[in-house]
Amino acid sequence: MSEAADLRVSVVIFRPNLRELDATLETLAASAAAARKRGILGRMALDIIDNGSDDETAVDACIARAADRMPDVSVRTIRGHGNVGYGKGHNLSIRAGTEDVHLVLNPDVAMSELALTHALTHLAGHPNVVLVAPDTRGSDGVRQYLCRRYPSVLVLGLRAFAPKAITSLFQHRLHHYEMRDCIGDDASVAVPLASGCCMFVRGDALRSVGGFAPEYFVYFEDYDLSLRLSRSGRLEYVPSVQIEHHGGSTARKGWLHVRLFVRGAFTFFRLHGWRWM
């Protein structure tokens, strides 16, 4: 990878919260400007993949504001394919890309000004690393432990559905799954699984595995991708790469998301092996 890396960013939206989307694109623009100023960012392309919007005019206005903030970035909207799911949506961008680095980004993520700078610098300095995962905080400033170890059916069931009175009995096991014993402020850490809300991935490695697996609609496609990418290099949590994430839990999103979560988990275990406890 050359000193100034070319970057492609893909953002999949479905009935987006426009305030959050606007903040995502605004902070992306500021982070890109900072990286370009430091000579670490070369050419950049941004793909907004619209899997379905209630008000396309409002979405287009939001994207137009983003394009105005990033006049040196190639911005395009991809729509008309219907709601093909999270991974397949990103693949419409991934498989057309030729860039050094691909950023998979959620529309509910706000990036710090130096997030791109630190991520691209880390990849440039560590050729054995194929994916950088960020330090993630909620809007309340509390760390979200989104890097994970391989899950078990018990752990997923507890996290998704069990009341606090029950999960407190399994706190040690849940914290182990969330890598709380090694995720912190000081050092980069190798991780088995990274969250799809924000993934900085080497483009050649991502394209070599074909992007996200088509077997998933939503949920667990990021875990699947992590395992396949790990065959060609390290996945690392890098604490200097910082974002704010506004996503909620599966259970709070309603029964449709619960069903999709269960279906995604079943697909993941079927493809990669069941672990019950």
Higher pLDDT, 172 or 247: 172
pLDDT one-digit tens code per residue, 154-170: 999 999 888 999 999 99
What stretch of H or E contains 64? helix 56-69
pLDDT 10s digits, 213-232: 999 999 999 999 999 999 99
Length of the chain: 277
Examine the pLDDT at 107 and tell me if it is beyond 80. yes
Taking the model in full, what pTM does it have? 0.96
Q: In this prediction, what percent of the chain has a pLDDT beyond 90?
A: 93
d(CA 176, CA 99): 35
**Beta partners for 241?**
none
Provide the token pair at 181. 């014993």
Phi and psi at 249, nearest 5°, equal: -75, 160
Return the pLDDT at 129. 98
Give me the chain's average pLDDT, please.
Answer: 95
**CA separation for the pair 83, 6 (Å, rounded):** 29
Q: What whole-number distance in Å separates Cα of residue 70 and Cα of residue 223?
A: 31
* Structure confidence at residue 250 (pLDDT): 53
Q: In angstroms, what CA-CA distances link 269 with 7, 87, 216, 265?
A: 32, 17, 12, 6
The pair of structure tokens assigned to 180 is 């709380």
Q: Is the per-residue pLDDT at 251 higher than 60?
A: no
Residue 2 has pLDDT above 60, yes or no: no
Q: What pLDDT is attached to residue 247?
A: 75
CA distance 184 to 188: 9
Report pLDDT for 256.
86
Q: Is the pLDDT of residue 249 over 70?
A: no
Amino acid letter at 234?
A: R
For 194-203, what is the mean pLDDT?
A: 98
Q: For residues 201 and 251, which has the higher predicted lDDT (pLDDT)? A: 201
What are the pLDDT digits (tens) for 39-52? Answer: 999 999 999 999 99
- Say yes or no to pLDDT of 34 above 80: yes
Domains of the chain: 5-272 (3.90.550.60)
3 band by pLDDT with thresholds 50, 70 and 90: confident
